[in-house]
Amino acid sequence: MRVRAFMAGLATMVVLVGCGGLDAQSTDPKTSKPDSASVSDARKKLAELAVKGRAPKTGFDRDEFGPAWADVDRNGCDTRNDILKRDLEDETFKRGTHDCIVLTGTLKDPYSGKTIEFKRGQDTSMDVQIDHVIPLSDAWQKGAQRWSATKRKEFANDPLNLLAVDGPLNSQKSDSDAATWLPPRKSYRCTYIARQIDVKAKYDLWVTSAEKNAMERILSDC
């Protein structure tokens, strides 16, 4: 319970320094389907997003978004471990790290519906990866090129834009947007799209016409 309470506080802290609000529905990675109010809110936000073509990828580099998994809230834990603590169940931690480094845990993967047993190690850690719901490359081509380094670092470590997921599926998704990749677990697609829209609205990122059409199609079935 102490870890859960801490993670709730972390999400609130990051949001307060961000560009918009984050409701409870948006922060729950295990929600199979958003309620009607959340769907309505997602449709409204989507209608307000700018629609433009994808900008060139020129200049994109992971380092443009700061060090991978920076300790942005200065709690002594990097962002990857913070998200593992939030999304996994029955975690165990490395002794002497103040419950920071996650050694084991169980993930109910939102993208596939599978239960994955996480074990920290050279050959096993990547079984569970932290997905940027809006990929960094996609963000770069839809507005983030113009941001300050501070804002890009915030975006890369914002809990709203991060989910612990099945590693191979995350690799499959790569930097795809909604027009080219959706979670294979169809019951999660509404929540996934609503979360993508929340992120894009919070950071004022635009969508392509194909991306918007795909999002509208999914929301119409929610």
pLDDT per position as a tens digit, 69-105: 989 988 889 999 999 999 999 999 999 999 999 999 9
What pLDDT, on a 0 to 100 scale, did the predictor assign at position 33? 78
Question: Does residue 160 contact residue 87 with C-beta atoms inside 8 Å?
Answer: no
Neighbours of 1 (CB within 10 A): 5
Q: What is the pLDDT of residues 199-213, one digit of tens each?
A: 999 999 999 999 999
Please state the domain count of the chain: 1
Average pLDDT over residues 186-211: 98
Q: What 3-state class would DSSP assign to 105?
A: strand
CA triple 48-165-133, angle to 5 deg: 20
Condensed to tens digits (0 to 9), the pLDDT of residues 16-62 reads 333 333 333 334 555 567 899 999 999 999 999 999 999 999 999 99
* DSSP-derived 3-state class of residue 183: coil
DSSP 51-98: B-PPPP-TT--GGGG-STT--TT-SSS-HHHHHHHHH-EEEEE-TTSS
The pLDDT tens digits for 124-134 are 999 999 999 99
State pTM to two decimals. Answer: 0.85
pLDDT tens-digit series, residues 98-112: 999 999 999 999 999
Range of the domain at 160: 2-220
pLDDT score of 179: 98
Partners of 165 in the β-ladder? 129
CA atoms of 88 and 128, how far apart (whole Å):
10
Task: Determine the straight-line distance between the first and last CA of the chain, rounded to whole angstroms.
Answer: 32
What is the signed CA dihedral for 66, 72, 76, 80, rounded to 10 degrees? -70
